[in-house]
Amino acid sequence: MKCYVKVYGCQMNAADSHLVSRLLADAGIREVSETSEADAVVLLTCSVRQHAEDRARGFARTMRGRGKKVIVAGCMGKLRGKELVAESVADLVLGPDSYRKIPGLLLGHDNLNPAPESFETYSDLLPALNSSVSASLSVMRGCNNFCTYCVVPYARGPERSIPYHDLEKQIRYLISQGIREIFLLGQNVLAYRHGDMKLIDLLERAARLEGLDRLGFLTSHPRDLSYGMIQRMARIPQLLHFFHLPLQSASEGVLKQMRRGYSLAEYEQKIAWVRSAFPDVYLTTDLMVGFPGETEGDFQLTLDAVKRIGFDFAYMFAYSERPGTGAAGMGGKVPVPERKRRLAELIDRQNEVTRRRAEGLVGTEEEVFVTAPAPKGQGAMLAELKNYRPVILNHTARLGQKLRARLVGLVGWSIIAEPVAKEAV
């Protein structure tokens, strides 16, 4: 049996794909890199926006048309499973807590590796790895926030955190396999709690493990970030100076309707704390336009905040109605063409900010961490600064190497770096 795995959506799905790869390998199923070689296709899907569902649905139809056995797994499998089977889009469907069933379903033994439908953490599985020096590790699953636009709590269930002793085993395994940078993942990772251990305790203990050079975390809810937590983070040498803090909107009314749990003033105060502790922070965010009831004035507040706060990068989206969420039943729907117009204007504004902030680094010298070969035509290698900002390094280097480099220019808003010394720092 040969299987092709395709991933849609968030970094949690990307991390889950390594768990699925481990399950397939342990069952003797060969994972292949081309659909033409596969007997079956597993899709790890996303339901956060309609576009992600449409892409997965189209790919699944194509694969079934080519005679492949198709399993739609993940959030879409949990939320849309019955209709996918009824529409002959998939042969089999399952949610994010049932990945252990995949090998048995592919081999025709649906009792092989049975999994519960809730409270699964996969804490006993050691992920399969690619040739990278960077890896992501899920430290918790699920979400309790129920923001009114979001399906994640319905698709992934309640928050549950993995015990430290299981995480330490996984981190030590990753280090033994050559991993030097690890991101700790959760839908709401700042809410990690197991017994008395919180995320900051986990970060401090993980940083003490020998061989781990760089440590990060995703994704954070701004409400849960405290001044004391930031101060303790600043004392962890291995911690990347990178914070992804989704703002979504700068309108107080919209934030309240979204059930985000913070005001704009509270958000900006936390940004000030972060920048005080990490002056070189690489700050990214999520922004949404066209939420039900959003006025032109609300939208202008978001545009103003983008310029004032100065995000280094933003993931920007038009509101996509998700059945079953609180926002789906709200009045004041913004017409789709207007959502698209606002999104285009927001993208233009943020792109200006992104480029300006990147230009401010040109001419400086920084330590870079080499992560991967660059795509053809871009340069020799992809690398990251200490704050996780990506750069293109015009120099051949081994993965995991650290170099001093001068940031010499931009292509678009991608920073180009040239080594100033070939030896590792």
pLDDT of residue 376: 72
Is the pLDDT assigned to residue 424 strictly greater than 70?
A: no
* Tokens found for residue 237: 């040498």
Give the residue-averaged pLDDT of 56-79: 96
Burial 211-225 (b: 16+ CB within 10 A, else e): ebbbbbbbbbbbbbb
pLDDT of residue 128: 86
pLDDT of residue 132: 87
pLDDT of residue 404: 96
User: What percent of the chain is modeled with pLDDT above 70?
Assistant: 96
Is the pLDDT assigned to residue 324 strictly greater than 70?
A: yes
* Band (108; pLDDT cuts 50, 70, 90): confident
* Band (374; pLDDT cuts 50, 70, 90): confident
Tell me the pLDDT tens digit for each residue of 341-359. Answer: 999 999 999 999 999 999 9
* 8 A C-beta contact, residue 243 and residue 287: no
Cα dihedral value 17, 21, 26, 28, nearest 10:
140
Amino acid occupying residue 104: G
pLDDT of residue 408: 97
User: What length is written for the chain?
Assistant: 425
pLDDT of residue 415: 95
Is the pLDDT assigned to residue 178 strictly greater than 60?
A: yes
Place of tokens 């943020």: 350
Is the pLDDT assigned to residue 379 strictly greater than 70?
A: no
Q: Which of 278, 245, 227 is nearest to 386 (CA)?
A: 278
Give the residue-averaged pLDDT of 177-196: 96
- For residue 100, how many other CB atoms are within 10 A of its CB? 19
* Band (155; pLDDT cuts 50, 70, 90): very high
* 8 A C-beta contact, residue 224 and residue 245: no
* Band (119; pLDDT cuts 50, 70, 90): confident
Q: Which of 4, 1, 64, 7 is nearest to 32 (CA)?
A: 4
pLDDT of residue 112: 43
Beta partners for 406? 365, 418
Tell me the pLDDT tens digit for each residue of 221-241. Answer: 999 999 999 999 999 999 999
Is the pLDDT assigned to residue 131 strictly greater than 80?
A: no
User: What percent of the chain is modeled with pLDDT above 90?
Assistant: 89
Could you give the domains of the chain?
2-107 (3.40.50.12160), 134-359 (3.80.30.20), 365-421 (2.40.50.140)
**Mean pLDDT of all residues in the chain?**
94
Q: Which of 38, 78, 79, 72 is nearest to 57 (CA)?
A: 72
Q: 40-45 and 69-74 as β-strands: parallel, antiparallel, unpaired?
A: parallel
Give the residue-averaged pLDDT of 385-402: 95
Least confident of 96-100, 271-275, 285-289: 96-100
pLDDT of residue 378: 61
* Band (31; pLDDT cuts 50, 70, 90): very high
Which one has a higher pLDDT value, 129 or 111? 129
Is the pLDDT assigned to residue 46 strictly greater than 70?
A: yes
* 8 A C-beta contact, residue 404 and residue 380: no
Q: What end-to-end distance do the CA atoms of the chain give, in Å? A: 46
- From CA 258, how far away is CA 147, in angstroms rounded? 6
Least confident of 129-143, 261-275, 321-335: 129-143
Is the pLDDT assigned to residue 113 strictly greater than 50?
A: no
Answer positive or negative: Cα dihedral of 255, 257, 260, 265. Answer: positive
